[in-house]
Structures are given as C-alpha cells and as structure tokens.
Amino acid sequence: MALDKEYRKVPGTTIFDSEQSAKGYHLNQFCMSLMKAENRERFLADEDAYMDEWPLTDAQKQALRDRDLNAAMREGGNIYFLAKFGATLGLSFQQMAGSMTGMTEQEYRDMMVGGGRSIAGNRIADVAVPEVERTEAEIAAAQEQDPMLDAVRANAAADDSVGNATITGAVFTSHVPAIGAALDLGKTEEPYWKAVFDGYEFSKAWEQDNLPDVVFLVYNDHATAFDLSLIPTFVLGTGAAYPAADEGYGPRPVPGIEGDPDFAAHVAHSLIRDDFDLTLVNEMEVDHGLTVPMSLMFGQVDTWPVKVIPFHVNVVQYPVPSGERCFKLGKALRKAIESYEKPIKVQIWGTGGMSHQLQGPRAGLINREWDNAFLDRLIEDPEGLSHVPHLEYVEEAGSEGIELVMWFIARGAMSDVEGDGEIEVVHRFYHVPASNTAVGHLILNNKPSAAAAAKE
Ligand SMILES: O=C(O)c1ccc(O)c(O)c1
C-alpha cells in the first residue's frame, strides 16, 4: 500500500519531504554555501559563474535569476535554505514570504498588520475542485503545475513492473577491519586468515544464487562519518552514493556503494511515521563496518552487484539503543519494506559482534559459550533474547560485544516474528580469532506464509 501524502493537497503549500529534498538537494546545498561571506561576495560579483559551480538544473538557475521563490520551491528548494539566498540579496523574511503571494510588499505587510491571512478559504476543502467540473485540458494544466507529482511520475515512467518489495533473507556477520586488510593485502590463503575466509565460501556462493536488488545494511560507524560533534542513534542513508572512507590507513581498494534514494525515502517515511525518529543522511563515507561485510559476501569485485541502504546505529557512546528497541525497529522495517510498491528483493544484514573487547586491561575477552548461546537464541527465541540488558553484553561479551544489538534489526524483520512465516537456517559459522574478535556468521532464508506473501 502506498503511503498517503495527503499533505500535498493543502492549498498554496509545498511540504518539504524526502522526494522534494532529493529533487532540490544541490539547490539547497548551493543556498547553504551562501552562509559564508566570501561565497556571497563571489555570487554577487558574477551570479551565473557562481551558480555554474553547482550541479543545478536550468529550471533551478532560472528560478534564482528570476528571484522566483515559488519556482525555486517547485524545483525542490526549502524556504529555510532559500532564505540564505534571499538574505544575500538583502531581503527580509517578510519580503521573501510576501514575494510568493502575488501581493505587493505593502499589501502583504498591511495584511499581516491586519491580523494575517485568514484560514477561511484556505483549507483543503475550499480549493478542491470536483474532477468532473474540469476539462481535460484544465486537469493536464493543473498537473503540469504540480511539482509534488514529478517524483511519482518519474518513478512510474522508469518502472512499470508490479508487486511489492519482499524480504528474502537476513545475513549476520562480524565486521572486523583486519578481515578487510587481509583481503586487500592478499593474505586470504595464510592459515590464520584461511580459517576465517573458509567460513564464508558457502556464503559467497549462496549470495550469488540469491542475489537481492538491495541490501539494507545495519552497521555502526566507528568515529568515521560521525565524530563527537554529532551522535545520532539511528541513521538512514537516503543518498545516491557512499564512498569508502579513509580510516587512517588509506581508503580500502573497494568500489563505492550505490544507494537507492527512492526506496530509502519510502523506508524513511514509513519508519518515522511509526515513531522511529531517524537521522537521514545524504552524504557520508562508509567505514569497515559496512565494507568488510560487503567483501565477505561478494568477494573482490570491480562493482558491487547490489544497491545498499546503509543504516548506522550508535553503539559507541552510551546511551545506546536496547536490543528490544532494535527488535521493534526490525518489525517496523519489515512493514516499511513490504509496503514499497516495486517488486524488488531485499536482504537485511546485521553486522558487528561477536564477543570482543578492544580496550583496557580486559582487552581480548572472548566468550565462546555466551556467543553460541546468543546464536541459538537469535534463531529460536529472538524476542526473549532482545530483552537481555546492556550490562550483560558488556560483562559477558566484552565492551564492543554491544554491537550485537544491531543484529535484532535484521532478525525483527523476519516473517516468523509476526507468526506469518518461517525462517530457515542456511548457514552458521563461528571462529576465534580474527584480530581481537570472535567471528560469528549466520544466514537465514525468510519464508513468509503463502497468505502473507499474497498480501504483499
Ligand atoms: O578485532 C579488531 O581488531 C577490531 C577492531 C575494530 C573493530 O571495529 C572491530 O569490530 C574489531
């Protein structure tokens, strides 16, 4: 079922949602650049030359040249960003707002002094014209004017296939950086590393046979994209591309990640409406937390064969989210994915863990028994396991073992959780050590019941 966007019907109003944001991304970032005095000077000295430095569309540039804020908003501009442009031109916020109303500056000011625009006549019902009363030409003209439908039309034109997205499986794996280094430096045949990579031979073959269109990849950033200046709990990547980060040893020699902005925007709408207050990010570099699982599952390739939606969870600075919260998020994620009206196949990956402690006198802690009990319960009793408190992870699985809470997002999205399907354990692997860490790996096939599959 498509998400309702009734807000598009409010007269004289453009709601800045993910679709508009994607459309106006460069326009808004261009406006942001005008926050610097030096850039304002360069813009005012030669507007076209400065605009040409940005990947703006002709329509966006023309809107700016015309000082037409309505047109700029149709092209994806947001008023708070456009206000930087207006300020550069010396306009007050009242002048900017008034310029969009068809009134003179004086008329607008007088209206505001007189109590502002009345709500009477400005509700949805006041402007809704019954379709039958409009000629086809009028309808076509109105649709042409409706910028909010552009993204929808573009999607429809690009894809005429029918059916909804399906979750085909879940992959759980550690994401130790040294595994990436071993691959990149050609050490996979060394006995120490062979024992690790052998556990993924089956996985690579399985992944090729069960290639999804998109991987929803849950991981934690390790002080790479997010340092202490910004500590979001949950981050959803809504961008088009994510380069591999330089974590201090030079960037890994792996391809960049291609995102899926349209699908990610849909997931964002659905999850946020279900009260998961996500941070959305359009530009970020991704570290070993994301690239090592990709290498383990796809090997060394020139291009990754799937699109990826990165999903970061803060497990670095406490308070970090609980297993329960992540499990509930997984359930909401299933709803979000299965309501996406394109017949794409999606895998959800949970990464991080298993037991490891990278700090202090207890560094090197490994708890095989706890790890294997975790894997057993993740399969059989994920709901019960999700109630394990943070302290148990830290005490039993080491301070960095807390990464395991992320696995619940993938597990919560499996059909058996809601009782309308089953999972099948396809592969399980456990090995100690990889650097300071116990490596755990699990692959689950997701098998929704026939009734649940038909509903999708
Ligand atoms: O075992 C390690 O070396 C190691 C280092 C950094 C990580 O983020 C990690 O998960 C493991």
What is 339-403 written as a DSSP string? Answer: T-SS--EEEEEEE--SSB--SSTTTT---HHHHHHHHHHHHH-HHHHTT--HHHHHHHH-GGGGG
Q: Which atom of ligand 1 is nearest to the CA of 289?
A: 8
CA of 70 to the centre of ligand 1 (A): 50
Residue found under tokens 């024992």: 195
From 224, 437, 441, the mutation candidate for ligand 1 (largest count of ligand atoms within 8 A of CB) is 437
Closest residue by CA, ligand 1 atom 8: 176
What is the rounded average pLDDT of the residues 211-227?
A: 97
From 172, 174, 176, 371, the mutation candidate for ligand 1 (largest count of ligand atoms within 8 A of CB) is 176
pLDDT tier at 151 (50, 70, 90 boundaries)? very low
Q: Which atom of ligand 1 is nearest to the CA of 222?
A: 8
Closest residue by CA, ligand 1 atom 9: 176
- Phi then psi for 299, rounded to 5 degrees? 75, -165
Q: ipTM score here?
A: 0.98
What is the rounded average pLDDT of the residues 56-71?
A: 98
Q: Which atom of ligand 1 is nearest to the CA of 436?
A: 1
- Is residue 224 within a helix (H) or strand (E), and if so which, with residue range? none
Rounded to whole angstroms, how far apart are CA atoms 134 and 144? 15
CATH of 8-91, one of 1.10.287.1080, 1.10.1040.50, 1.10.700.10, 3.30.1330.60: 1.10.700.10
Closest of 252, 374, 253, 274 to residue 332, by C-alpha: 274
Burial status of residue 355 (CB atoms within 10 A of its CB: 0-12, 13-18, 19 or more): buried
CA of 177 to the centre of ligand 1 (A): 6
Contact 220, 315 (CB under 8 A): yes
Quick: pLDDT tens for 222-247. Answer: 999 999 999 999 999 999 999 999 99
Residues of the chain with CATH 1.10.700.10: 8-91
From 196, 315, 356, 359, the mutation candidate for ligand 1 (largest count of ligand atoms within 8 A of CB) is 356
The predicted pLDDT at position 451 comes to 75
The predicted pLDDT at position 176 comes to 96
pTM for the full predicted model = 0.87
Q: List Cβ neighbours of 7 (8 Å cut-off, separation of 6 or more).
A: 13, 15, 17
CA of 413 to the centre of ligand 1 (A): 26
- Quickly name the fold that domain 166-448 has: Protocatechuate 4,5-dioxygenase; Chain B (3.40.830)
Residue 126 predicted with pLDDT over 70? yes
Ligand 1 binding site (Cβ under 6 Å of any ligand atom): 175-178, 222, 356, 358, 400, 435-437
Residues of the chain with CATH 3.40.830.10: 166-448
CA of 220 to the centre of ligand 1 (A): 12
pLDDT tier at 100 (50, 70, 90 boundaries)? very high
Burial status of residue 285 (CB atoms within 10 A of its CB: 0-12, 13-18, 19 or more): middle
Q: Which atom of ligand 1 is nearest to the CA of 437?
A: 1
Contact 207, 297 (CB under 8 A): yes
Bridge partners, 350 (sequence order) = 172, 218
